[in-house]
Structure 1
Amino acid sequence: MLVTKGVGVSLPVNETVGDPERLERKLEKAARLGFDCVELPIQAMRLIRGGELDDRKLRRYEETVRRSGLAVTLHAPFDLNLFRQDDRDTDFRCLMASIEIGGVLGAETLVVHPGRYVGEERLLYPRLWPEYTEDQKEALLREERRLMRLAGDAAKARNVRIGMENLRPWPECPGYSYAVIPGELAEQVAAIGHPHVGIVLDVGHFYLACQFYRLDPKTEIECVRSRVVHLHVHDNFGKPSFAAEKNQHELYALGRGDLHMPIGFGEIPMEQIAEWLGGKADVFLIHEIREMYESEWPVLPKFKATV
C-alpha cells in the first residue's frame, strides 16, 4: 500500500487556465469534488514570453490560487529542453522563470521534462535529427547537471521542489532521451545531487517504456523509489504510438499511445506498482488525465490518501 499526502488533478493547456476568472471556477469545482491539489501548466497562463517572466497577471493568479484553498503544483512548459543546441539559454531562462512563478504561487513541486537528444518537434523530420557520439551525449548530460544544480539552488530559495519526469517512448526514435528509462533518469538525478531536485514518476509513461523496451518494472521502480517527489497517474494499454498519431479518439478506439485515461480504463497494474513503491510518501498523487475525461473527475478523489 502507498500512502500519499493527498490527491490532485491536472488541468489542460487551454484558455480555462489562461483566464484567471475561468480558472477560479475550475478550481472551485476541483475543491467541491474533494481534490486536495491541482497541477497547472505554466505555458497556459502566458506568464512567460520568450523566456522572460511577464508578471502582469501573476498576482491575479496568486489570489486565485489562494482563494481556492487548494495546494498547487506546476508543470513547466512541455517543450523546455536543456539539450537544445540552437537556443538553450532561452530554455534555461524559461526554467528559472517557472521556478519564480512557483515561489509566488506557493507551488510545492515544479514538473520538468528532462533533456531530449531529439526534440519532439523534430520527430516527424528524421533528416533534422542531430546525431551525437557517446562523448557528445555525455557532455550534454554534464551540462544538464550543471544547469539543474543552479535551478535547484533557485528552487530551494523559493521553497519549491523540482521533479524531473520520466518520459514516454516514441517508436520512431527509441533513443530520443535517456529519461525514457527510469533507471537512467535516477542515475542523472543522483549525479545532480541536489536536495531540491528529484523525480516525477509518471506511471503511464513508465508502463509504456517497460513494455516497449522490455524492462523489468519492479527493478525500475526500485531504481527511482527513493527519489520520487511527485506522482502522475493515468492509464493506457502499453502500446506506444508514433508522433504522427494525434487523434485521441482514434487512439482510444485502438488502445494505442500515451492515452492519459483515468485509472481503470486501461491495463496498468496500479495496485502492484503502488505496492512496489510502498509505505508513506510525502508526495501528491496527480491524476494527469486528458480534458476529454473530465466527466470522470467525481470518482477520482476516492484515491484520497492510499492506492
Structure 2
Amino acid sequence: MLKIGSNISEVRIDGNLDHLCRDLDAFQEFGLTAAEIGVHGTDVIRNGKLDLKRIADIQKILNRYPFSYSVHAPNPLNLMDEEDFDLHVDVMRSSLEFTQAIGAEIMVYHPGRFQAEESFGPLGKIVSSEERCRRLLDLEAEILLNFASEFPGQTIAMENARPYRYHSPYCYAETISALQDQVERINRDNVGMTLDFGHLHMAAKFYGFAEIAAVKQVAHLIRHCHVHDNFGGTVYHTDKQQTHQIPLGKGDSHMPVGWGNIDFASIFSCFLDQYQGLLITELRGRYFAATGESAANLLYITENLQAA
C-alpha cells in the first residue's frame, strides 16, 4: 500500500523543535503515514557541519511517531558551485548523514544550477558557455557517484526543476530528458529521480514538451514524488508573493492537490503500477490547514488507478 505524507514546512518550523512536534501531531490527525523533513528547517546543519546533540534531539522526536520519513537537502545546496565547492560538498555529506541517522532511505537533492537562484538579477540570465556547462555536469556527476558509493543505504533522488521567466535554463533539470541523462550517466541503483509534479507542469508549458511522454520515458528512474498543484504559469524569480500570483495562475504555488489544473491521474498512470516510494504532498506553509484535504484527494486518485 502506498504511503502518503507531507513535507514539514521549514517556514513553519523555523528551527523550533516544539513546532516540529506540533506539525507531526497534526499529520497524525490528518491520517498521514509519511513525513518529509527539510534539513534547512531544523538547524541541524550549520556551516556544513552536523550538530550531533541536535540530531539526537530530533531522533527522539521522530521515533515517537509511526511515519516513514524522507529528507530534503537544503535548497541552496549546489554541487556546481565552484566558488564554495568544498562547503557544498560538506552540506551534502551532512545531509546524507542526517538521512542515515533518522532511518530514512530517500534524500531529495535539487540538481546543480549553472546559475544560482540567489544570483538572479534584473537583467536576466547569465549565459553559460557549452564548455562550462559540460564541465559542471561532469563535476556534479563525479561527486554524486562518490556519495552513492559512500552512502549505499540512502537513495539520492534528484528533483526536476521549475523554470523561471527571463532566467531559464538556469538548471539543466528543468527538462526531464536532461535530468534523465545525468541520472543514467551516474548509473547507480541508489541515484534516481524525484518527480515533482508542479515543476513538471510549469516546465512542460514553458518549454512546450508533453508531460505524459516525458514521464513515460523516466518511469523506471522515479524513486520519490512531490505531489502538489499549480496552473503552470511562470514568474520572475524575485516576485515571491503568492497572494499576488495565484489570481493570475502563475508561480510554483505548491497548492493542495485538486486546487490547480494538473492532470494527476494521467501522470500517475505512467508509472504508479511499478512505484514503490512515498507520495509527499509538498505544500507551502500557508496551505497547512488543507494538508488533510490534499492527502485525501491524492489517495482518491491513486486508489482509483490501482482499482482500474
Structure 2, gaps ≥5 residues long: none
Partners of 1:130 and 1:271 in 2: how far apart? 37
**Alpha-carbon contact 2:283-2:291 (below 8 Å) kept:** no
1:145 Cα deviation after fit: 0.6
The residue number in structure 2 matching 1:214 is: 208
| 1:211-253 deviations in Å (ceiling 9; x for gaps) | 0000121221122211000000111111111112111111122
**Alpha-carbon contact 1:166-1:206 (below 8 Å) kept:** yes
The residue number in structure 1 matching 2:48 is: 51
The residue number in structure 1 matching 2:227 is: 233
Partners of 1:299 and 1:223 in 2: how far apart? 31
1:56 Cα deviation after fit: 1.9
Please state whether the residue corresponding to 2:32 is helix, strand or coil: coil
Q: Say whether 1:257 aligns with 2:251.
A: yes
Partners of 2:101 and 2:77 in 1: how far apart? 21
Q: Say whether 1:76 aligns with 2:55.
A: no
Partners of 1:262 and 1:13 in 2: how far apart? 17
Partners of 1:155 and 1:257 in 2: how far apart? 35
Q: Give the paired residue count.
A: 301
Q: Say whether 1:201 aligns with 2:198.
A: no
The residue number in structure 2 matching 1:99 is: 96
1:130 Cα deviation after fit: 5.0
Partners of 2:2 and 2:157 in 1: how far apart? 16
1:100 Cα deviation after fit: 0.2
Partners of 2:210 and 2:30 in 1: how far apart? 37
Partners of 1:252 and 1:155 in 2: how far apart? 40
Partners of 1:102 and 1:122 in 2: how far apart? 29
The residue number in structure 2 matching 1:147 is: 143
1:177 Cα deviation after fit: 1.0
**Alpha-carbon contact 1:96-1:154 (below 8 Å) kept:** no
1:90 Cα deviation after fit: 0.6
1:85 Cα deviation after fit: 2.1
The residue number in structure 1 matching 2:288 is: 294
Q: Which amino acid in the other structure matches residue 147 of structure 2?
A: A
The residue number in structure 1 matching 2:185 is: 191
Partners of 2:16 and 2:74 in 1: how far apart? 17
1:19 Cα deviation after fit: 2.2
| 1:102-152 deviations in Å (ceiling 9; x for gaps) | 00111121000001101100112548x654321221111111111001111
Partner residue of 1:10 out of 7, 11, 14: 7
Could you state the TM-score of these two structures normalised by the residue count of structure 2?
0.93
**Alpha-carbon contact 1:17-1:23 (below 8 Å) kept:** no
Relative distance call for 1:84 and 1:130 in structure 2 (3 A) is farther
Decide which moves more: 221-230 or 9-18: 9-18
Please state whether the residue corresponding to 2:151 is helix, strand or coil: helix
Relative distance call for 1:97 and 1:284 in structure 2 (3 A) is same
Relative distance call for 1:138 and 1:11 in structure 2 (3 A) is same
The residue number in structure 1 matching 2:260 is: 266
Structure 1, gaps ≥5 residues long: none
Relative distance call for 1:173 and 1:294 in structure 2 (3 A) is same
